[in-house]
Structure 1
């Protein structure tokens, strides 16, 4: 099995609509998000656990985001921090950056831009820098750039195909049932009649190269497995 740690992001935001929007968008890009809605709890999480990136609102119930940031930097915690706030004046930006913020975005914001900025901060994060690449045989998947290559050749995947490949690579060598794929990749926890798994596996195999040695194998009656050597599995 391939063992790679997904990046962990702490989101301190008191608007639940924004939190839900961010959480869904970031997790689709391979980032695990833990969210809290007030400054006191946010400070506790920021100071007591390791994170790869932290997103802070400036105005929060309890402690404000700037105080949380100042406490982090005073304790030598250099986790990259992005402020996401309605405080859009130049003085507010300057204060935030001078007190140790790595980036500053103003609401309303575009999710693709925020995701891109988070990816930039992840590249700076020493705790994640060396764990962002999955490899199985000659296939490489980069969780930061979302690039996929096989034997150095770029492979262009749709978002759901990327998620499926990531799941296969994280569980390389393990037989994955159809129900496991439906639950963990498509988040379908209930019985459903659909050929969505079979269709996406077929497309993924085609994009990985029909002329190259197969890596995704069908195990009759059990499911699928990703492996360069099927003899090691069956």
Structure 2
């Protein structure tokens, strides 16, 4: 498991395309939209926009790691790596965990860089850093768990990219990452509570300004980890079918 994790981590940290999706693009989006929505606004209104958009775009772009995960698993399947792994004593759990944990490290690195950018450039508050850390760990677990399940379900890279965009962008709209959820129609507010983006964004915003209560924090963590656990169970259930499609 450790060998797979280290190999996958090294390979992805050298991927310029992944750096673009995870770091450069979210920073560009954040700068552009904050400039647009704070133009002509008062200082207080600008602060509200910044505290909403910095975590909002950070969370939205976390989900794009699913593209890299899908491409990696499909490549392993098509070049015969999965079939060779299956013929060794390495268990399917170890293979999946090795790949999964490597992407957790990448997503946490992405979170740290984007939050540092928000702090240095926009001076976003980080009043409850411990809560923020745990929330982002839970989000990382959820996002990569969903990516793992998606990678074992889809048959092609294009299908993985399309579904990732639906999950990332659709979840961003419905989860209140682009616009405050209380400004949305009632039906969207009802749908949002079934999305991890909603729970992560609401908790992060409150932890940033120091108003997140312990009970709400615990509830958010349980919900986010539940999404990730369900996704991992789905991935395990889909692995035999994924292995059947493997070449070699």
| The two structures share one fold, judged by TM-score above 0.5 | no
Output the TM-score relative to the length of structure 1: 0.27
Max radius of gyration: which structure?
1
Relative contact order, higher structure (CA 8 A, sep 6+): 2
Specify which structure has the higher proportion of helix. 2
Report the structure, 1 or 2, having the larger strand content. 1
Q: TM-score, normalised by structure 2?
A: 0.26
